[in-house]
Amino acid sequence: MRLPANIRTTTRVPILQVVKTAIAMILSWIIASLLLPGELPIFATIAALLVVQPSVNQSVGRAIERSIGVIVGVLIAYAIGLAFGSNSWIVLLAIVVSIFLAWALKLTPGTANQVPITAMLVLLLGASSPDYAFARIIETVIGALIGVLVNILIVPPVLIAPAHASVLRLGNEIAATLERLADALETNHSPAQLNGLLVEARLLRPMEKNTETALTQARESLTLNPRQAKHRDVLDHDDELFARLRPLITRALGMTRAFHDHYDDTLDGEPTLLAISDELRRSAHDLRLLSRDPDVPVVEPEAKTAGIPVLTAPLTITTPDPRHWILLGSLLEDLRRIHDEITGDDGS
């Protein structure tokens, strides 16, 4: 029987993270049992389960959230148990108090959820002594520390590769958008074809958002990571490249939109469009060189043209049809800015 789609993900968590979580839980159970005998180490095991995260930085954050939430929850449970005894209704009271206290203290969602859960568990286990409360805090800290240490010592996760691939993919898709526009400038089009051209160009925006998210995750994965030194250069390169690509997305979309909005069947008589089309192809070529993996050597045909930037010679602009001068002027200005952004010139 297949599970419903709304409770399944499209990808699995890496098996290494599953193994690390299991190891952290086993170690937490064993160590907490040895240090705090007499009670099942439930709090330590749960803490280890929650603390092993996709990055060391997230693990440390989750460990802090978990520890603070347990401390507050245990204190609430102990205080309410001391004040009202062992009546069953005090469990509900502890939950309500925990929720409002977490709101009053402006705790993070992770910490705020942990407070009532801890208070409820402590009261349900029937313990209201200070020794028990203190032991549960120590037990949680043990589990959290073991979770962090396991995540650090066993192949600490680094999310550089997905971000790197996403940045390069974005650069090549911008180049493909410029090439599609170059082809469009040389032929006549139906309204459906023009709409299709614009829709394809607009797909750059979700790609930009996904790349930004991947870079954020990559930066987070290097924070507090002992492996960060050898990956930092790659991330810096990708951050710099992404910063240069973002304006190009705006240019490519703007040129496509201008062509879509100002198109008419008489454009094929404008000789300047052919020159613009050629420059767009050269821009796409240079952008692909800019967006290649620096560790992959350039093949010989590209090496011969790698140093030739676009717009190296002035374009000869014939007087356009009065109906077309706005479109041509817009395309030329965006093309100039594309040149500046690809080459790194400031235009001054």
Q: Is residue 316 scored above 70 in pLDDT? A: no
Which of 99, 122, 153 marks a domain boundary? 153
Q: Which pLDDT does position 114 carry in this prediction?
A: 87
Q: Which of 1-15, 133-147, 309-323 has the highest mean pLDDT?
A: 133-147
Confirm whether 3 is domain-assigned: no
Question: How does residue 128 score in pLDDT terms, banded at 50, 70 and 90?
Answer: low
Q: Which pLDDT does position 250 carry in this prediction?
A: 93
Confirm whether 272 is domain-assigned: yes
Q: Which pLDDT does position 324 carry in this prediction?
A: 62
Contact at 8 Å (CB) between 66 and 110?
A: yes
Q: Are residues 112 and 177 in the same domain?
A: no
Rounded distance, CA 160 to CA 217, Å? 8
DSSP 324: T
Q: Which pLDDT does position 26 carry in this prediction?
A: 95
Instruction: Give the type of residue at 270.
Output: E
Question: How does residue 2 score in pLDDT terms, banded at 50, 70 and 90?
Answer: low
> pLDDT exceeding 70 applies to what percent of the chain?
84
Q: Are residues 306 and 174 in the same domain?
A: yes
Residue whose pair of structure tokens reads 């050269």 in the numeric block: 282
Confirm whether 223 is domain-assigned: yes
Q: Are residues 71 and 202 in the same domain?
A: no
Q: Are residues 91 and 182 in the same domain?
A: no
Q: Are residues 279 and 141 in the same domain?
A: no
Q: Are residues 215 and 329 in the same domain?
A: yes
Q: Is residue 306 scored above 60 in pLDDT? A: no
Q: Are residues 125 and 265 in the same domain?
A: no
Domain of residue 224, residue span = 160-343
pLDDT tens column, 24-71:
999 999 999 999 887 888 889 999 998 998 888 888 888 998 889 888
Q: Are residues 180 and 264 in the same domain?
A: yes
CATH number at residue 209: 1.20.120
pLDDT tens column, 204-226:
999 999 999 999 989 888 887 77
Q: Are residues 167 and 286 in the same domain?
A: yes
Q: Which pLDDT does position 165 carry in this prediction?
A: 92
Tokens of 156: 């600490």
Contact at 8 Å (CB) between 261 and 137?
A: no
Confirm whether 6 is domain-assigned: no
Q: Count how many domains the chain has.
A: 2
Confirm whether 7 is domain-assigned: no
pLDDT tens column, 171-183:
999 999 999 998 8
Rounded distance, CA 278 to CA 282, Å? 6
Q: Find the Cα–Cα–Cα–Cα dihedral 122, 104, 62, 57, rounded to 10°.
A: -160
Question: How does residue 195 score in pLDDT terms, banded at 50, 70 and 90?
Answer: very high
Q: Which of 19-33, 152-166, 222-236, 270-284 has the highest mean pLDDT?
A: 19-33
What per-residue string of b and e applies to 39-63 under the rule 16 or more CB within 10 Å gives b? eebbbbbbbbbbbbbbbbbbbbbbb
Q: Are residues 217 and 110 in the same domain?
A: no
Q: Are residues 110 and 176 in the same domain?
A: no
Q: Which pLDDT does position 305 carry in this prediction?
A: 42
Phi-psi region of 93 (alpha: psi -120 to 50; beta: other; left: phi over 0): alpha
List of residues 6+ apart from 272 with CB closer than 8 A: 315, 317, 318, 320, 328
> What's the pTM?
0.71
